[in-house]
Amino acid sequence: MTARQAVVLAAGRGTRLGTLAADTPKPLLEIGGRPLLLRTLESLATAGIERAVIVVGHLRERILETLAASPVPGLTVQFVTQERLEGTARAVALARPHLAPGPFLATWGDIFVEPQNYPRLLAAVPPGGGAILVNPVDDPWAGAAVYVDEALRVTRIVEKPPAGTSATNWNNAGPAVLDEWVWPRVDRLEPSPRGEYELPRALAAAVDEGIELRAVPVEGPWFDIGTPESLAAARRYAESARRGNVAP
C-alpha cells in the first residue's frame, strides 16, 4: 500500500537564521525564486501524495496566507498548530487525528532535496515497514547516525552521537515513510537530554523491535535550511540548476 498522505513539519522559529527569519517563516524562505514549502508540496503532489497535514507554529498566518494564494494542484492541505515546540515526534503526533489509517510520508518544511527523492522513498518501503532518506556526511554527530547492512536495511539509529564516535557516514536526512507501527513508539518516548521528544528515537526503537526500515540515499544535494550559510548554498545550487550548470 503506497502512502498517499503526508505530514509536513513547518512550525520552527529558525533562530539560527537571525534576521532572515525574523518576519518570514523558515519554510517560506525562497530558493530558486520559490518558497521552499511550495517546492516541497509540489514535489509531494508529483510523487502521488494527495493530502498533506502541515504542522505550523511560528508566523503561522503567513504560511496559511501563502498556501491560500498559491494552492498546489492535486493536493489537499490541512493545518494543525504546535503551540509548544517539544520536538519532532510530538509535532508528527499532532497530525495523527487527521491522518487516515495506513502509511504516510513525514517530511520537514526546511529540508531541500530534488523532487525525485520522494517517489524513490515511497517505492522503497517493504511490506509492513518503512523507509528513511539518508545523506552521506563526514560525521553524523549533528543529526542521527544511520547504520545499514549490505541491502540498505537499517540496523541501528543513534540520535546526536558524540562527535567522532560514529562508525557510519550515513545521516538521517529527515523525510521518511512511516506507518501505524510508529505511534506506540512515539507514545513511549522520554524526553532527550535537550528536553525534546525526537522522532529518530522512535524510529530507533522500531528498528530494535524488528520493524524493517530501508535507507534510501539522497539523489542530488541535501540542504538543511537552518543557517544563513546553508540557505545561501541552496540558493547557489538552485541558480546553477536554473542556468543548466548542474543536473536539474
Q: What is the pLDDT of residues 171-193, one digit of tens each?
A: 999 999 999 999 999 999 999 88
Indicate which CATH number applies to the domain containing 92: 3.90.550.10
Single-letter code of the amino acid located at 164? G
Position 19 in a domain: yes
Residues pairing with 80 in the sheet: 55
Q: What is the pLDDT of residues 42-70, one digit of tens each?
A: 999 999 999 999 999 989 999 999 999 99
Q: Quote the domain boundaries for residue 178.
A: 5-243
Position 97 in a domain: yes
Q: Where do we find the cell 544535494?
A: 221
| Cβ atoms 136, 145 nearer than 8 A | no
Position 248 in a domain: no
Global model pTM greater than 0.75: yes
- ∠ CA(50), CA(55), CA(57), 5° rounding? 150
What total of structural domains would you count in the chain?
Answer: 1
Query: pLDDT truncated to tens, each residue of the chain (248 aa)?
Result: 789 999 999 998 777 888 787 889 999 999 999 999 999 999 999 999 999 999 999 899 999 999 999 999 999 999 999 988 899 999 999 999 999 999 999 999 999 999 999 999 999 999 999 999 999 999 999 999 999 999 999 999 999 999 999 999 999 999 999 999 999 999 999 998 888 899 999 999 999 999 999 999 999 999 999 899 999 999 999 999 888 765 44
Residues pairing with 177 in the sheet: 105, 131
